[in-house]
Amino acid sequence: MADSPKQAPGRWTIGRWTILLIIVVMVAVVLAVVVIRTPRAAVPWARLKTSDVHSLAFTGADLDRVLFGHHGGLSASTDGGRSWAALRLSDDAMATAPGIDGSIVIAGHDVFRASHDGGLTWARIVTDLPSLDIHGFARAPSDPDLMWAYPATGGLWRSADGGATFTEVRTDNLLFPTAVASGSSTRLLGIDVTGLVESVDGGRTWTALGTPPTYPMTALAASGDGRVLYAGAQDGLYRSVDGGGSWSATSYGGSVFALAASADGQTVILVDRATDVYRSDDGGETWPGPG
């Protein structure tokens, strides 16, 4: 009887190592994809160490100049958020609204003041608002005298003379009133019980735009034309690039208690519950430190 064929020496060993090599390569590829797709952790630029967090605002086109409002006053940064210095103000800056003329208006709990020298001095704005407990405030991008206020007594009020006189244009409350440019006029955005709404007639009539993916919201910011929107929550930051029609989560997953966006919407800066400052210059994709 003839002997059965014998396996060539080393044949099985070579095949086994080939299979193992293929497995190792596949695992490495999977891990590489995971690493690429996993967002890097957000790195804070500074810690403000205030007792609370209220408002953020870029001052003009210079994205290094930022204002931060809290219950005890207003702080300014001239290096993009790396360092901060307190301005000569101890009033509650619940809302902070720089104007194209260089002025700054703050509104808050029994506070309505303006500065025309970069925050060195402040003057009380004498107004006929029904309440000086102002929970929301906005100024038109092209006209610093055109403004809207949401007082604690309710409704939305409009002024065209720098805050001296106001007229009620909406009886229902409007959270986070935000003014953006619409050609040569101003469009208003805000949040009510239906979600995101807009007005193109100064606040008299409103149209629903959709519902942001987070509730309750803690902050709202917009690009200069309102095309790019950011909605803050206690568990992350969301972005819309079509004026609020659709939303997607950014890579930031922490809390958001104050928020500001640049005119083009690419730069966004926020302050979290712990008063840490975070900044992204690519629309919320990455949140590196000051570098």
Please report, for the chain, the start and end positions of each structural domain, with discontinuous segments joined by +: 11-38, 50-280
The pTM for the full model equals 0.84
**What sign has the CA pseudo-torsion 45, 234, 172, 204?**
positive
Profile the chain (291 residues) by mean pLDDT over runs of 10 residues. Answer: 50 54 51 44 95 94 95 95 94 94 95 94 96 96 96 96 98 96 92 94 95 89 96 95 95 97 97 97 96 80
| H or E segment and range at residue 14 | helix 11-37
Strand order, beta sheet including 95-98: 95-98, 104-108, 111-115, 123-124
End-to-end CA distance of the chain: 80
Q: What distance in Å separates the CA atoms of residue 72 and residue 204, rounded to the nearest whole number?
A: 34
Nearest in space to 225 (alpha carbons), one of 169, 272, 274, 181: 181
Amino acid 11: pLDDT: 52
The pLDDT value given to residue 21: 55
Architecture category of domain 50-280 in CATH: 7 Propeller (2.130)
Tell me the C-alpha distance between 227 and 265, whole Å. 8
Name the strand (E) or helix (H) holding 231: strand 229-233
State residue 216's pLDDT score: 84
Sign of the torsion angle spanned by Cα atoms 80, 218, 47, 138: positive
Helix (H), strand (E) at residue 33 = helix 11-37
Per-residue pLDDT at 14? 52
Under 8 Å between Cβ of 40 and 266: no
